Structure 1
Amino acid sequence: MEILFNKEGTPLAMTSRFMFGESTGRPENYERKKKQILSPYSLEKVRTLHFRKLEVMAWGRNNKFPETAIETISSTSVLNTGLKFLRALTVGQGVMACRVRGVKDNGDEVLEAVDDPQVRRFVGGRMVRRYLEKASRDYFKVGSAAVEMMVNAAGDIVGLNPLNALFYRYTLPDAYGACKCVVSGDWPNVPGRRDRDPKVLDVLMDYDPGLHVEWMRARGRLRRSFVFPVRDSWSNNDYYGEPVWLPAYILGWVEVAHMVPKFLQKAYKNQITWKWHVQIPYSFWDRKFPPQDFETPKLRTAAIQKYMDEVEENLCGLQNAEKPLFTHYNVNEANGKIEEEWKITALDNKYKGGENLVTSAAANSEILFALMVNPNVFGAGMPGGTYAGNQGGSNIREAFLVNLANAYIDRQNLLDPVNLYLEANGVRDVELRFRNTILTTLDTGAGTQKTLS
Structure 2
Amino acid sequence: MEILYNSKGYPLMMTSNFIYGETTGAPSADELKRKNILMPYDMQNITYIDVDGYQVSPWGESNDFPQLAAKEIEGASVLNTGLKFLRNLTLGQGIYPCIVEGYDDNGNEVLKPIEDAKVKSFVASRMVRRYMEKVLRDYLKFGNGAVHFVPGMNGEIIGLNPVNALWRRYTKFGNISESKCLVSGYWPDTPSSGQYQVLDVLSEYDPDMHADILNFLGKMKNGFIFPIRDSWSNNDLYGMPIWWPAYVLGWVEIAHLIPAFLKKAYRNQVTWKWHVQIPYSYWEKKYPEQDYTPEQRKIEIQKFMDKTEQNLCGLENAEKPIFSNYAVNEMNGRIEEEWKITPLANKYQGSDNLPISAAANSEILFALMVNPNVLGAGMPGGTYAGNQGGSNIREAFLVNIANSWIDRQNILDPLELFIRMNGLPDCQLRFRNTILVTLDSGSGTKRTLS
TM above 0.5, yes or no, is: yes
Q: Which residue of 2 aligns with 1:320?
A: none
Match of 2:365 in 1: 368
Deviations 1:374-430 (A, max 9, x none): 111111111111111111111111111111111111111111110110111223541
Larger mean CA deviation between 169-178 and 288-297 belongs to 288-297
The reply on whether 1:229 has 2:230 as its aligned counterpart is no
Deviation at 1:153, TM superposition (A): 3.7
Show the counterpart of 1:215.
Answer: 213
Report how far residue 152 of structure 1 moved. Answer: 2.2
- Report percent identity of matched pairs: 53
Pair 1:443-2:444 in alignment = no
Q: Counterpart of 1:30?
A: 31
- Which runs of 5 or more residues in structure 2 are unaligned? 271-278, 309-328, 333-345
Q: Note the C-alpha offset of 1:98.
A: 0.7
The 5 Å alignment of 1:216-295 reads: 216-269=214-267
Q: How many equivalent pairs are there?
A: 407
How has the CA–CA distance of structure 1 residues 204 and 356 changed in structure 2, closer, same or farther, with 3 Å as cutoff?
A: closer
Q: Tell me which of 427, 431, 448 is aligned to 1:430.
A: 427
Residue in 2 aligned with 1:200? 198
Give 2:366's aligned amino acid: F
Q: Is 2:103 aligned against 1:94?
A: no
Task: Give the distance between the partners of 2:268 and 2:31, measured in 1 at CA.
Answer: 36
Aligned residue number for residue 335 of structure 1: none
> 1:44 maps to what in 2?
44
Deviations 1:259-309 (A, max 9, x none): 11133224434558xxxxxxxxxxx979x989989855859x98xx99xx9
Q: Displacement, 1:201?
A: 0.7
Shift of 1:9: 7.5
Change (3 A) 1:252 1:13: farther
- Offset, 1:450: 0.5
Greater alpha carbon shift after TM alignment, 134-143 vs 220-229: 220-229
Supply the distance in 2 between the matched residues of 1:177 and 1:211 (Cα, whole angstroms). Answer: 12
Structure 1: gaps spanning 5 or more residues: 273-283, 310-327, 332-348
Bigger shift: 64-73 or 121-130? 64-73
Amino acid at match of 1:378: L
1:23 positional shift: 5.9
Is the Cα–Cα contact under 8 Å of residues 269 and 347 in structure 2 kept in the other structure?
A: no
Which string of whole-angstrom CA distances, capped at 9 and with x for unpartnered residues, describes residues 424-448 of structure 1? Answer: 1223541111111111110111111
Aligned to 2:317: none
Please say which of residues 422-431 and 248-257 is displaced more in the overlay. Answer: 422-431
Contact 2:59 2:65 in 1 (8 A): yes
Quick check: 1:155 aligned with 2:161?
no
Contact 2:52/2:193 (8 A) holds in 1:
no
8 Å contact from structure 2 (residues 144, 229) kept in 1: yes
Aligned residue for 2:62, secondary structure, equals helix
Deviations 1:83-111 (A, max 9, x none): 11111111111111011111122221111
1:173 and 2:173 equivalent? yes
Distance in structure 2 (CA, Å) of the matches to 1:356 and 1:169: 40
Pairwise CA distance, 1:10: 7.9
Matches of 2:208 and 2:50, distance apart in 1: 30
Contact 1:13 1:22 in 2 (8 A): no
Deviation by residue 1:40-69 (Cα, 9 ceiling, x = unmatched)? 664532221111111111111321111111
Given that 1:149 and 1:225 are in contact with CA atoms closer than 8 Å, whether structure 2 keeps it comes out as yes
Displacement of 1:246 in angstroms is: 1.3
Q: RMSD of aligned C-alpha atoms?
A: 3.9
Alignment of 1:117-196 (within 5 A): 117-176=117-176, 178-192=178-192, 194=194
Per-residue deviation, 1:239: 0.9
* Residue of structure 2 in register with 1:387 after alignment: 384
Choose from 391, 394, 397 the match for 1:397: 394
Match of 1:324 in 2: none
Contact kept? 1:12, 1:256, Cα under 8 Å? no
Shift of 1:353: 6.0
Q: Any idea what SS the aligned residue of 1:223 has?
A: coil
- Alignment partners' CA distance in 1, 2:40 and 2:122: 37
Aligned-pair distance for 1:8? 5.2
Residue 151 of structure 2 contacts residue 221 of structure 2 at CA under 8 Å; is this kept in 1? yes
CA distance in 2, matches of 1:413, 1:358: 38
Question: Aligned-pair distance for 1:177?
Answer: 6.6
Q: Is the 8 A contact 1:49 1:58 kept in 2?
A: yes
- What CA deviation, in whole Å up to 9, does each residue of 1:237-256 have, x standing for no partner? 11112111111122221211
Helix, strand or coil: the match of 1:132? helix
8 Å contact kept, 1:14–1:22: no
1:104 corresponding residue in structure 2: 104
Partner of 1:423: helix, strand, or coil? helix
What secondary structure is seen at the aligned counterpart in 2 of 1:61? coil
Deviations 1:104-126 (A, max 9, x none): 22221111111111101101111
Report the secondary structure of 1:33's partner residue: helix
